[in-house]
Amino acid sequence: MNPLVLIVGRLATEAKGVRGEPYAAGRRYFESVARAGGMPLMLPPITSLIDDIPDLLRQVDAVVLHGGGDVDPRRYGQEPSAEQLYGIVAEHDEVELAVVAAVLSLEVPMLAICRGMQVLNVAMGGTLVQDIGQHDIGGESHWFAHHQVALEAGSRLAKAIGSETVTAAHCVHHQALDRIADGLVVVGMTADGIVHACESTSDAWVVATQWHPEDTSATDTQQQSLFTSLVDAC
């Protein structure tokens, strides 16, 4: 059987072909995992199931923590201060923080994408810049824009894509990592100084990108290689 890759889903307001409000996750994540040889599964954000998450993760081989709205700043010890904050959902925060705790405890391979990287940092004790537009960090847009990302030589990410440069990272974010959590190391940045990749310092294959590799993975081998490396780490 192909490795089982758990994708953490979202509350959603509509979907075609179903009755009632759905749980959802973007198709591109599932398709990227399938191309890599994994079997994608979705975990709905049901908070009553949080206590069962460690047992669930013992039965799967890897996790994808994907993009979405903002983490509630109270989760990292701040009051909301940016008007640009959006999409804060308590159930998403609670379930994803619990997933990260179990991933780290059980050393399950994980690829954390965009919001997922931010959740990883917060779960481990780090903080976020609530809106990068409020800070003098170069003034480049990271909202539906492609950037080059310089990677640390020898990092898991550089090994995965076979290069120390991500040539076209598709960015859709208005926040960034601020204080980096203990147990994480920065391995990729854009020219304006924004952290775009980090990894766990443990032996587990826990890799995070601020950009969205799933958006272009169907045609960009660099981006698809991240999903392939995740599955290979199972």
Whether the CB-CB separation of 92 and 45 falls below 8 Å is answered with yes
Whether the CB-CB separation of 90 and 46 falls below 8 Å is answered with no
Is 92 annotated in the active site?
no
Helix (H, G, I), strand (E, B) or coil at 91: helix
Catalytic choice (114, 142, 171, 196): 114
Q: Provide the residue type at 122 as one letter.
A: V
Catalytic choice (92, 96, 196, 214): 214
Q: Residue 173's closest CA among 115, 88, 126?
A: 115
Task: Give DSSP secondary structure letters for 130-145.
Answer: S-GGGS-S-----EEE
Is 212 annotated in the active site?
yes
Is 214 annotated in the active site?
yes
What's the distance, Cα to Cα, between the start and end of the chain in Å? 12
Catalytic choice (66, 92, 196, 212): 212
Just list the catalytic residues. Answer: 114, 212, 214
